[in-house]
Amino acid sequence: MRKYTVYGTTLSGNCHKVKTLLELLGWSYLWIEVDTRKGETKTEEFLKLNPNGKIPVLELEDKTRIPESNAILYYLARDTDFFSRDLLEQTRILEWMFFEQYSHEPYIAVNRWLLKYAKTENETSPLISANREKGNKALSVMETHLRNRSYFVGERLTIADICLYAYTHVAEEGGFSFDDFPNVRKWLRNVAAYPKLISIRE
C-alpha cells in the first residue's frame, strides 16, 4: 500500500534526505526521478507541482504537494522518534535544519555540484575558493558542537542528522576534507552505521 510519491533525483542531497527518512521509517513510496540537468524542474508541468521549480516534492494521496526538503522531513517525522515532543529539542532540531539550508548547503552542496556535475569551475576558481572557506566554517561549527556528542540533538538520530548528513557525507566530492574535523568524521560513521542508512555516493 503506497502512500507517498516523491519527485526527486538520486544525485541530490536534498532529495536524499527524504529517501533516507522514508527508508528508516520503512514506509512505502513511489520515487519519480526528475533530471534537473535536462531542465525537467523548469517545465510548465513541473512548475504546477512546485512553482519554485525545485526538487524534492512530496505528493500525498490526495495530491497535496509539499516542497522544501526540510519541511518534508518535518511533515513525515513529527510524530515519530526522529523528531521530539520536547519544545527545546524540537527547536534545536529546526535550528540545525535552518543552519543547513543557510550556512552549509549553499557552499558544500554547490561546490560538489559545480566540480562534479556542472564542471563549469575548477578547484582553484574564485567561486570555489570562496565557497570552500564558507563551507569549512560550517564544518567547524559542526565540529565544535559534536565535541561531546554522538548526534546533533538529544543523543539519538533525528531529522537534524538526516538533514546534515545528506551533503556532508559526500562533501569530499566537492573538494572538502575532514582532516581538520575528526568529530564530524566520527559522526558520519555513526550515522552511516545506522541500519537502512543509504548513501548517494555512486
Residue numbers at the binding site for its own copies (CB under 8 A): 51-52, 54, 64, 66-72, 74-75, 78-79, 87-88, 90-92, 94-95, 97-99, 101-103, 105-106, 141, 144-145
Q: Which is nearer to its own copies, 45 or 202 (CB)?
A: 45
Per the rule left: phi > 0, alpha: psi between -120 and 50, beta: everything else, 28 is: beta
* Least separation in angstroms between CB 194 and its own copies: 24
Angstrom distance (rounded) from CA 125 to CA 196: 38
Q: Which is nearer to its own copies, 65 or 196 (CB)?
A: 65
Our separate counts of H helices and E strands in the chain read 8, 4
* Least separation in angstroms between CB 24 and its own copies: 19
Angstrom distance (rounded) from CA 137 to CA 181: 11
Q: Which is nearer to its own copies, 88 or 192 (CB)?
A: 88
Q: Which is nearer to its own copies, 3 or 196 (CB)?
A: 3
Q: Which is nearer to its own copies, 134 or 197 (CB)?
A: 134
* Least separation in angstroms between CB 88 and its own copies: 7
* Least separation in angstroms between CB 195 and its own copies: 27
CB-based contacts of 12, cutoff 8 Å, min separation 6: 36, 55, 56, 200
Cα pseudo-dihedral 65, 71, 75, 79, rounded to 10:
180
* Least separation in angstroms between CB 139 and its own copies: 12
Picking from 110, 118, 125, 112, the residue whose alpha carbon sits closest to that of residue 174 is: 112
Q: Which is nearer to its own copies, 87 or 193 (CB)?
A: 87
* Least separation in angstroms between CB 202 and its own copies: 25
Please report the DSSP string for 107-151 in residue order: HHHHHHIIIIII--S-TTSHHHHHHHHHHHHHHHHHHHHGGG-SS
